Chains A and B, each alone.
Chain A
Amino acid sequence: MKILRIKKGFNHPLSELKITANFQTNLKEPEKIAVLPFALKGIRPKLLVNQNDFVKTGTPLFHHKNNSELVFLSPGCGKISNIEVGQKRIIQKIEIELDETQDFEELHSVTESSLRNISIDDLAEVFLKDGLWPFFRSLPFNTIPDPCERPDIIFVKMSDNVPFYPLPESWLKHRLKAFNHGISVLKKFSESVVVYADKNNHSIGECAGSIDYQITGKYPAYDPGVVFYRIKEKANVKAWYIDGQSIINIGETLAHGKFFTDKIFIVGSSSFDRPYHVKSRIGAPVSSLLGSDYKFKKNHRFISGDIFKGLKTSADGYTGFYESALTILPEGNEKEFLGFLKPGTKKESYSKTFLSALFKSQTKTDCNTHGEKRACINCTYCEQVCPVNILPQFTMKALYGDDIESALSHGLLDCTECGLCSYVCPSKISLSEIFKEAKDNYLKEEKA
């Protein structure tokens, strides 16, 4: 077990909230769940079902247009009540009205004993057919890997210090066997499976045997892209990553031949001081994660995922396939009087230009941009926080002039899209969005 210290980064004030493995139990079971194909990067879905069809848990819903092997399974059993198509005919969501009969499709299983004799290609086929392949994502584009690609290294993320991410003990409990099975399956894919966790978390001692790196540092120290950046020694290494919790989905599905859809969520907000965990399922609606005691006023934003990388959703929306957090923040769309002149005891900032830098008081977090967009003034804050040592302001300017070669040489592809550069920019430039777009365009051109 090695210790990896990551120096650069920034801990958002919300990450100071104390998180314990407490569960909210008195919540209603969801009546509807949904799959959100638009959020699957690089996937062009071709539907295999129609509205009002009856699907079992594990019935294929759609496959990737360019590769019919890559199928996506239904995470629930019931009637397809709605298929919402948005602009450019992009499928926004497939809603499933859950049925009481909890029927499962028979899927392939790989037990511990059969694992020894299975070849890597057969295993990949089982993963594709069992709908487990999409749990993997590849660096640097964060896309679902191509079915014929084999990884050199797989990162397994156990914990994170971003607000918010479920504690590993919340989902590891009673599932250790499935976790260990999942890890041994992963080791079939690649000899180097790197499992990393929080250095200060002692409660995951039970699976300590499988942990390779203990990480300490500020956000985004636990991002697989950052860990990869720190330990890679040469270029052209095919790196995949997967959430620790998904290992359990893999382990259970392969052990029993049934699509395992349980998922632990963490729900946090700047409006309540205790984030809580909820045991739910893949595709759970936002409303099912909120207790009736938490009434939010109208002006709130519901984020599936964390505050830096999450997807915007709504109170009647759904959680994404990869995100295991629900964050609720005030929208903050009101005009603050003389905002920049206030001493700022409650203002959150990376810089030390507010009094909140002196007194550690609880700051107010909302989605306001806190200022208008301006030209870059070279303040170097973005460079100070970038965990992968890109020169964000120069890379941004290179991209502004369509100089993709310079941007690539600065390390554009190492960008983990952590969003810190956008966060700290006093000119309110959307740096990480610019990098994301440039990476996506590069991927498109590379494929073409």
Chain B
Amino acid sequence: MKNLLKNFFDSNRKHFQHGGKFSKFEPVFDAFETIFFVPDNTTSGSPHVKDALDLKRFMSIVIIAIIPCMIFGIYNSGRLALSAKGIPENIFSAFLEGLVIFTPLLIVSYSVGLFWEGLFSVIRGHKVSEGFLVTGLLYPLILPPTMPLWQAAVGISFGVIIGKEIFGGTGRNILNPALTARAFLFFAYPASMSGDSVWIKNFSPDAVTGATALAVSASAEKGADLTNLLNQNGYDFFNLSMGFTPGSIGETSALLCLIGGIFLIITGVASFQTIIGGIIGAVLTAIFLNLFTGVSDNPYLTLNPLYHLVMGGFAFGIVFMATDPVSSPGIRSARWIYGFLIGMLTILIRVFNPAYPEGTMLAILFMNLFAPLLDYYAIKFRLKKRVINV
């Protein structure tokens, strides 16, 4: 296998090198070759040694962390689809049904996204970056299972081109590309993205209602006790954290997001400052809002703060989206503030903005825009303590 591939790449390399027939497609050839073989580049001078970690490994770690959420998401969306159709399910049939839903979305995401990545790399003559491997997997996981494929394709095109490539590609984007793609769909095709029963209705015309926890909360009567209401609808804390609930494919299980987050923190790939800051921000804001229970009849004010953490896409967003290093601040102390504000904004949007039932996506995108500003002040603060050597 190894030698076969080696011979294949060695014999075809000449066509892609300078002066070859397909020299323009060198980045694509390189992208495929480097998946199988680490290049033989060596250091030119001091330092003579380099760390074994490269971007491919870095991104693979993120993908490993996402996989539990993905597998559970496949099972869960299959389970809900079968029950919506009124077919009794077991774990295998649910998983199979889930694969039928998820695989096309994944294929569309990767093929359309990589097409744009490759096109930009060929035109610009730079290498295909690994960043998209994560974006391409995250994107279908934050879509509803009923998303039409053509809309998914349009969304990821927007995410890759506007969210990333026009800024210069991975590492230079200011917004998280997967969330940019989702935000585009959210505003362009709201009928497919939100609403009471969109999550599973399309599977069958006479499906039972599939309102998400967020939808239940948003449509709660004024003055209602939201925690009780959610419990009555089957959204108690246990169910919400396990994730046997409707929602975007990968986001429902807060527990698996937590496991992925712990893995990312231990490996040092995601910054714990963002994740912990986000959780603190969300809980403190919710506790603060609880103080105003009697003042207004907004039902959200009564909600137990812990429910906020396991509802909707908060857990998935804070673990996998907010920790995207490129669109986060680059100073670790600023990441505390960045995470805290994401948590706070998520809760504020949920509670006070009835137009958007989910606040996580917009909160993260909004804070992406503020990341350079946070960096600017964090650097200023740090430099105050420095004895300048000029």
Contact = CB atoms under 8 A, between A and B. Distances in A.
Do chains A and B stick together as partners?
A: yes
Interface of A: 12, 140, 232-235, 301, 303, 305, 307-312, 327, 329, 331-341, 344, 347-354, 365-380, 383-384, 389, 391, 393-394, 408-411, 413-414, 419-420, 422-428, 432-433
Interface string B33-47: 010111111110111
A414 to B, nearest CB: 5
Contacts of B36: 337-338
Closest 8 CB pairs between A and B? Answer: A371-B54, A375-B171, A419-B47, A339-B38, A347-B52, A335-B37, A340-B56, A413-B389
A422 B50 contact: yes
Contact of B37 (A337, A379, A423, A433): A337
A369 B130 contact: no
Contacts of B45: 312, 433
A375 B129 contact: yes
Given A233-B387, A337-B36, A340-B60, 19 more contacts: A235-B389, A308-B46, A308-B47, A329-B49, A337-B2, A349-B53, A351-B267, A353-B53, A368-B42, A368-B43, A369-B42, A374-B171, A377-B55, A377-B171, A414-B389, A422-B47, A423-B51, A424-B53, A426-B55
Contacts of A393: 330
B137 to A, nearest CB: 16
Question: Most chain-B CB neighbours within 10 Å: which of A368, A389, A425?
Answer: A368
Nearest to B378: A391
A428 B67 CA distance: 27
A266 to B, nearest CB: 16
B312 interface: no
Given A372-B127, A383-B332, A389-B386, A335 B38 contact: yes
A331 B42 CA distance: 7
Contacts of B37: 335-339
Given A234-B387, A377-B326, A425-B51, A352 B266 contact: yes
Contacts of A413: 389-390
A368 B58 contact: no
A291 B34 CA distance: 39
A369 B43 contact: yes
A233 B389 CA distance: 11
Nearest to A420: B47
Interface string B351-377: 000000000000000000000000100
A379 B49 CA distance: 20
B127 A411 contact: no
A332 B41 CA distance: 8
B375 A335 contact: no
Given A335-B40, A410-B379, A379 B58 contact: yes
Contacts of A394: 330, 375, 379
A334 B39 CA distance: 7
Interface in B126-177: 127, 129-131, 168-172
A360 to B, nearest CB: 15
Contacts of A352: 266-268
A366 B42 CA distance: 9
A334 B388 CA distance: 44
B61 interface: yes
A426 B389 CA distance: 29
A336 B381 CA distance: 44
A414 B382 CA distance: 15
B34 A370 contact: no
Nearest to A436: B46
A204 B371 CA distance: 51
A369 B48 contact: no
Contacts of B382: 389, 391
A372 B390 CA distance: 35
Nearest to A393: B330
Contacts of A235: 387-390
Nearest to A374: B55
Given A374-B170, A426-B54, A310 B46 contact: yes
B263 to A, nearest CB: 11
B295 interface: no
A332 to B, nearest CB: 6
Question: Most chain-B CB neighbours within 10 Å: which of A351, A394, A414?
Answer: A351
B53 A372 contact: no
Contact of B268 (A332, A339, A351, A371): A351
Contacts of A311: 46
A341 B63 CA distance: 12
A310 B331 contact: no
A301 B43 CA distance: 11
B212 interface: no
A307 B60 CA distance: 29
B271 interface: yes
B48 A370 contact: no
A348 B36 CA distance: 20
Given A377-B171, A394-B375, A426-B57, A335 B51 contact: no
A368 B38 CA distance: 9
16 contacts: A309-B46, A309-B47, A333-B42, A335-B6, A348-B51, A365-B49, A366-B49, A372-B30, A377-B58, A377-B171, A377-B326, A391-B382, A411-B388, A426-B51, A427-B171, A428-B54
A332 B332 CA distance: 34
Contact of B53 (A341, A419, A426, A432): A426
A340 B57 contact: yes
B286 to A, nearest CB: 29
Given A389-B386, A393-B330, A370 B47 contact: no
A217 B60 CA distance: 32
Contacts of A424: 51, 53
B253 interface: no
Question: Most chain-A CB neighbours within 10 Å: which of B41, B51, B129, B267?
Answer: B51
A423 B332 contact: no
A377 B58 CA distance: 10
